[in-house]
Amino acid sequence: MEKLNRNHYELLGVTRDADSDVIKKGYRKAALEHHPDKGGTDDAFQAVKEAYDVLSDPIRKRNYDRDLKKYGMKDGLKKTKSSTNAASTKNNFKKQSTTKNYQREETKSYPKEETKSKKPEPTAKPKQVQIPDNLKTLSIKELKALMKQLNLKSDDCFEKKEMIDRVEEYKSRTQGGGSKKATPQAPPRSSASKPTRTASNTSTSAGAMGTDEPIAFKILSVGNQEVGKSCLIKRYCEGRFVKRYISTIGIDYGVKRMNLDGANISINFFDLSGNDDYKLIREEFYEDTQGVLMVYDVDNRDSYVNLVHWESEMRQNSIDLKSLGVVVCANKVDARGREVSTSEGQKWCKLRGYTYFETSANDGKNVSEAFESLFQKVLDKFRTAQNKFGVS
């Protein structure tokens, strides 16, 4: 009998009739919400993983459902207004969610949109809302603003694709995919947030926005566990070295804003765990990547050999490495017992068109140079694409 002291459905925020895609989406969001580095706990994160293991296995799910019915458990039944998984899950683990940390990080430079009002706003005549033909050209902030105008819920959309799908569904449902205008049920509130350009906006008028808005680039760090990916990022972002090893659970996330070559940019780091236990989580974050930091440990030959595995995993998740900026860090060069020579690493990178750096998160050797080289590559590719599409 599956454990009934865990509310698997509730933990993932899904109901008993949820299909595999919905369960997977719930797992992704819950795993991030209870990430220990973002206010969760190991116990909560493992409970999320256990819930997904059960609900994604047809046999175990069937047995779990049978036991729920047998003992009259309510886990997975339709939610009511007074009983939501968000509230109960947070009460169970008494931790703040990753999503809230993410929102705080995102809004350091810009005011957060007001989502609640003590008094309802006066009714006004509905306004017509222009829905662009190509929603991919909009930034996440612009999509949220559009969804707000259309009275569409966006706070449960974790990724840009989910937001686009919801707007497209609305457009198809209300307009038959024809008209470009829609009439919302109520007037939108004014937004205090500034839109952020993203690197995927290269084919549109997004580039014509004011130069004050940062261009957001998504950067992944990949490589075996314990090669020092997180330490390199902390060394670059915070100027410090973390001596105690803490394994990344699933993914970690951070933002670094800067001015590079006259451009105001926002680097969104997605530090992916090298542990295969979290493969399902990290595979959800490859989409819409503009740059990759590949890392191996020069004292661990297996981590060097496994670079081809990371290439393969990225390609399987629709990443075209030839079109991205890629920098390879041969890390821990300050340590003794080197197993991978400089010439080997350089040759491997040269064959693939990657840029090679020998780095040390411990003493900071070449860390800034490696990161800034990657950012410059990504920015150059962005500008090239802008010029191609006539966007300035």
**pLDDT, tens digit, for every residue of 181-207?**
444 443 333 333 333 556 654 433 333
Residue 322 has which token pair? 């030839």
Q: How far lies 168's CA from each of 62, 147, 178, 271, 284, in Å?
A: 34, 11, 11, 31, 21
**Tell me, what's the pLDDT at 146?**
86
Query: Is 296 in contact with 330 (CB distance < 8 Å)?
Result: yes
Q: How far lies 7's CA from each of 2, 92, 250, 270, in Å?
A: 11, 10, 21, 29
**Tell me, what's the pLDDT at 198?**
61
Question: What number of helices (H) and strands (E) belong to the chain?
Answer: 14, 9
Query: Is 137 in contact with 204 (CB distance < 8 Å)?
Result: yes
215-388 maps to CATH 3.90.950.10: no
Cβ-proximal residues to 245 (8 Å cutoff; 6+ apart), any chain? 226
**Tell me, what's the pLDDT at 39?**
66
Domain boundaries, the chain: 8-101, 126-195, 215-388
Rg (CA), the chain: 23
Burial category of 248 from C-beta neighbours within 10 Å (exposed 0-12, middle 13-18, buried 19 and up):
buried
213 vs 354: CA distance, rounded Å: 30
The residues of the chain scoring below 50 in pLDDT are 80-88, 90, 94-117, 124-126, 177-195, 201-210
Q: What is the DSSP letter of 6?
A: S
**Tell me, what's the pLDDT at 252?**
77
Superfamily (CATH) of domain 8-101: DnaJ domain (1.10.287.110)
Cβ-proximal residues to 167 (8 Å cutoff; 6+ apart), any chain? 131, 135, 143, 146, 147, 150, 152
What sign does the CA torsion over 120, 124, 126, 128 have? negative
Place of tokens 């309510």: 74
CA 17 centroid distance within chain: 27
Cβ atoms within 10 Å, residue 342: 13
